[in-house]
Amino acid sequence: MLTPEQIRQIADELAEAGRTHGVIPRISARYPDATVEDSYAIQGLWRDANLAAGRRLVGRKIGLTSKAMQQATGITEPDYGVMFDDTVHRSGVQIPVDHFSNVRIEVELAFVLGEPLEGPDATLEDALAAIDHAVPALEVLNSHIEMEGRTIVDTISDNAAYGAMVLGDVQRRPDEIDLRWVPGVLARNGEIEETGVAAGVLGHPATGVAWLANKFHQHGARLEAGEIILAGSFTRPMWVSRGDVVHCDYREMGSITCSFV
């Protein structure tokens, strides 16, 4: 395991990379013995520094919950990160490319909790009961650690590669729609690049919400009412560049458009 000094040094490096939109060498290459616990400790220091600076936490992202994403990254277990209020956007937003590193887009559903959800034995049914509504979302990935050869340690340390999310305008309660069959047809500049259905996320996109509640219980915490939970992608990540216009069609849950400037 890493020493407290090493954990703080890496958290500081990632904070600086965030300010400069740069990339640091892989943690797993420099510290081969670093553990998942170390990576969450690094993320935690980075999170706390942001909270101390005045940012407001509004939710959590879950990543690597689908076979598509696990195959794309070579990582086989879910992870999670935090989301701050200044990273949440609405459909139609123009996103400055220079604010991010290694910019990619993923197709997801987001859930807003109507009541707290606590482990250690939270089930899919518990998660659905706690969810107030679902809304379509695009996640903007933002990686401050070199891409090739990354492991779960690198990804978690880097706030699970979360950069921002773009929310759609259509909201549905879990009892109004079969969330497993919400589709996503993702296009860049009018050309379809990725397609998928939400069942690709652990069989049901809300399964990850229960997983996260049980994970949090291990640390004496729970998911709170009002939090936004970004549930994980059911397509592979799509690279984007300045000038790209992205559109995703979720059929009965509407669509999302954003552009990169």
**Mean pLDDT within 149-156:** 92
Residue 193: what residue type?
E
For the chain, the average pLDDT equals: 95
Length of the chain: 261
Minimum mean pLDDT range among 25-34, 65-74, 148-157, 232-241: 65-74
Residue 68 has a pLDDT of 67
Residue 9 has a pLDDT of 98
Residue 146 has a pLDDT of 95
pLDDT digit string, tens, across residues 245-261: 999 999 999 999 999 99
Can you read off the two tokens belonging to residue 4?
A: 């407290």
Minimum mean pLDDT range among 64-73, 160-169, 221-230: 64-73
C-alpha dist (Å) from residue 137 to 2, 44, 60, 140, 167: 35, 25, 13, 10, 5
Residue 160 has a pLDDT of 95
C-alpha dist (Å) from residue 205 to 35, 52, 68, 190: 27, 32, 14, 27
Among the four given CATH numbers 3.30.1550.10, 3.90.850.10, 3.30.450.20, 3.40.190.10, the one describing domain 56-260:
3.90.850.10
Question: Which residue do the tokens 């259509």 mark?
Answer: 170
C-alpha dist (Å) from residue 115 to 123, 127, 185, 248: 15, 10, 31, 29
Question: Which residue do the tokens 């696990």 mark?
Answer: 70
DSSP state of 223: B
Task: Spell out the domain ranges in the chain.
Answer: 56-260
Each residue of 75-105: b (16+ CB within 10 Å) or e?
beebbbbbbbeebbbebebebebeebbbbbb
**Mean pLDDT within 57-67:** 87
- 65 has a pLDDT exceeding 80: no
pLDDT digit string, tens, across residues 90-99: 999 999 999 9
pLDDT digit string, tens, across residues 196-233: 999 999 999 999 999 999 999 988 899 999 999 999 99
